[in-house]
Amino acid sequence: MLDAHSKTVVLVLQGIRWLRDGHDVRVISTGNNTRAISTSITQQLEMSLSAGPTPSLTPGCVSFHQYNFWDRKDGEENVEQAVTDLLVWVKNGHLHALIDEASFDSRDRHGPLLTRLVTRLAQQVPHLYLWCAGVLNRDLPTALQTHVFTVPLRSAPTVLREIQPVIHRFKVNDYSDSGMPAPGDGLSVIRLSHHGNAHTGRWPVDCSQCGQDIAAVLRRLGVGSSAANSPSRLSYRDVFVLTRSDDLQDDVTDEAGQVTSPASGVVQGLKDAGVPVSVLGVQDWLHNRARWERAVQDVAVAATDTVTVAWYGWVKGLERRVVAVLQGRDRGDDDAGKTDEKIDRLNRLSAVSRCTTQLITVRTPPVTTTTPPSLTTTTTPTATTTHTTT
């Protein structure tokens, strides 16, 4: 089990090693929320094959396998199908496979099913090389050997400090010191406020002005600028705008192309400011699965030079150089009794951790309550004695 910033890197490096030793590698996605990162890993492994010669006379090949262990109705059947499919690929008793964003937590419906997959494969494959990477260390299967990697490899110290205060409140190992000084502290966090007359809606995701404020920051950072023609310049594809809200959407149109439901405020604000945007929200997954699948494929490989605005559950494991995190809640949080403090912890662990360089936060100022003068109780001293404590 690996920390959030090193796990995918280590999986890719191990997959490349297997390929160059002549082994085939199976990349397994166990749910819609891991499709993007699994697609990204697959692409990186495929690129490694075309990058140059390998020590093996016959390098291995890569294949992607998509399942959905989160399905309430067919989750167990999907596990059995995964076992059946993967056993076909066993060669001379060997199977090499990678699973990113693995969680074996018994409290959710996904965890026990993933445990069953690992256990079944361990029982039936004599030489199983299955690497599972995740950030949670709860209920790990006994079939897995556990190695804890806690040295952050990619994010700047300024970003890590935004995540570190909440780590101890999860079943997550804290970061450790690499023993080597960081090359720099990183860029200061840019903090925007969803507040003022021009701002609308309860949360930043609903606010066009917040979208324009983010666009102004991106312009200051030089994102999308053609003036700086260097490998280090920022493109729109280097940017995530992430939210917890499941109401996020782009314009919904009918068959005639007429808008039947407008884009979320932050999306509209970005577009009004001239920022090219791709949206990866829950609504497309529910109502336009084909568009959702195209968007997932695109964001996984950063194929299009657009800013990705997404529900952060869809981009687990992916990283961007610039990430704007919008404060907010989804519709089920109130029913589940999740406090603002818990939502903040989830946002830091799941969204802030996607950032490697420049973090932007957009928050609603806390509501302060003042007592009306008529209800203020005043106390008149009854003695003139003064007590001084030193």
Does residue 379 fall inside a structural domain?
Answer: no
CB 9 within 8 A of CB 154: yes
By the 8 A CB rule, do 100 and 37 touch? yes
- Whole-number CA gyration radius for the chain: 24
Higher pLDDT, 5 or 109: 109
Model's pTM, two decimal places?
Answer: 0.86
Residues 173 and 260 reside in one and the same domain: yes
Q: Kindly state whether residue 1 falls inside one of the protein's structural domains.
A: no
- For tokens 């084909």, name the residue: 290
| Structural domain contains residue 249 | yes
| CA gap 50, 273 in Å, rounded | 39
The edge-to-edge listing of strands for the beta sheet with 25-29 is 62-66, 25-29, 94-99, 127-132
What number is the average pLDDT over the span 296-306?
95
Do 43 and 175 reside in the same domain of the chain?
A: no
Strand 252-253 and strand 259-261: pairing? antiparallel
Is residue 43's pLDDT more than 90? Answer: yes
Both 176 and 89 in one domain: the answer is no
Residue 121: CATH number of its domain: 3.40.1010
- H or E stretch at 290: helix 289-301
pLDDT digits (tens, 9 = 90+) for 320-372: 999 999 999 888 888 888 888 888 888 998 999 999 999 999 999 875 544 44
In this structure, the answer to whether residues 181 and 53 fall within a common structural domain is: no
Q: Is residue 162 located within the same domain as residue 96?
A: no
DSSP assignment letter at 321: E
Same domain for 175 and 110: no
Q: Are residues 168 and 71 in the same domain?
A: no
* Tens of pLDDT, residues 71-117: 778 888 999 999 999 999 999 999 999 999 998 988 888 899 999 99
Same domain, 187 and 335: yes
193 burial level (CB within 10 Å; 0-12, 13-18, 19+): middle
What is the DSSP secondary-structure string of 200-250?
-SSSGGG-HHHHHHHHHHHHHTTTT-SS--STTSPPGGGEEEEE--TT---
Do 125 and 70 share a structural domain? yes
pLDDT, position 213:
98
Domain-terminating residue out of 132, 166, 199: 132
Within-domain flag for 146: no
Residue 152 in any domain: the answer is no
Asked whether residue 65 is domain-assigned, the answer is yes
Residue 127 shares a structural domain with residue 161: no
Measured between alpha carbons, how far is 31 from 44 in angstroms, rounded to an integer?
20
Q: Could you read off the pLDDT of 255-294 as tens digits, one per residue?
A: 888 888 899 999 999 999 999 999 999 888 888 888 899 9
CA distances 31 to 12, 66, 109, 168, 217, Å, are 19, 7, 11, 27, 34
What is the CATH number for 353? 3.40.50
293 and 342 in a single domain? The answer is yes
Closest CA to 101 of 38, 147, 168, 146: 38
Cα→Cα distances 355→136, 269, 316, Å? 19, 22, 12
Contact call for residues 290 and 13 (beta carbons, < 8 A): no
355 in any annotated domain: yes
Nearest-angstrom CA–CA distance, 217 and 359: 11
Name residue, tokens 């995190």.
325
State the total domains in the chain. Answer: 2
At 110-158, the pLDDT tens digits run: 899 999 999 999 999 999 999 999 877 788 898 888 887 777 777 888 9
253 and 211 co-located in one domain: yes
The whole domain housing 177 covers: 157-363
Query: Does any domain span residue 312?
Result: yes
